[in-house]
Amino acid sequence: MIKHVEHIGIAVRDRKAAQALFDRLLGAVPYKVEEVGREGVVTVFYQSGESKIELLESTRDGSPVHRFLEKRGEGIHHIAFEVDDIRAEMARLRDQGFNLLSEEPAVGADNKWICFIHPRDTHGVLIELCQTRTGDAWSPA
């Protein structure tokens, strides 16, 4: 079951310029900067109250964020929803006819298991499911 919006991901061309802007806007500094090599991205996480913002900067040509920036430019890349059991939620959504972009959860930024739903199934919005990784007895394939 989807619990709540976990974060909103924003694709940016220049992470340092975007960080300077969000530092001023939110009156805070990021709580985490992390590179996710598998995805070719550096992520910057801000927490403001119960809300999180994730800035995404591509680290290589052809990465998903690089392709997004080339096609659509900077802006909202995805909305992430926290779930208690990502595998159960993936199965439920498959049964509902949603096209998932992976068969198994992947290790994502900020200590999460993640999976994306294809935006053509969600009115053009890329949706991410995420589950906090705490003492997981399983790992992705």
Full strand arrangement of the beta sheet holding 127-132: 32-36, 41-48, 51-58, 2-12, 75-83, 127-132, 112-117, 106-108
Spatial separation of the C-alpha atoms in residues 34 and 90, rounded to whole Å: 25
Residue 67, SS3 per DSSP:
helix
State the virtual CA torsion across 75, 78, 80, 81 in degrees, nearest 10. 120
Taking the domains of the chain in order of start, what are their residue ranges?
2-132
Residues 5 and 87: their CA atoms lie apart, in Å, by: 18
Residue 136: predicted pLDDT: 55
CA distance 26 to 67: 28
pLDDT in tens, 60-88: 999 999 999 999 999 999 999 999 999 99
Q: Which amino acid is at 133?
A: R
Q: What is the pTM of this model?
A: 0.90
DSSP state of 94: H
Q: Which CATH number applies to 2-132?
A: 3.10.180.10
- 16-66 pLDDT per residue, tens: 999 999 999 999 999 999 999 999 999 999 999 999 999 999 999 999 999
Spatial distance between the Cα atoms of 75 and 3, rounded to a whole number of angstroms: 24
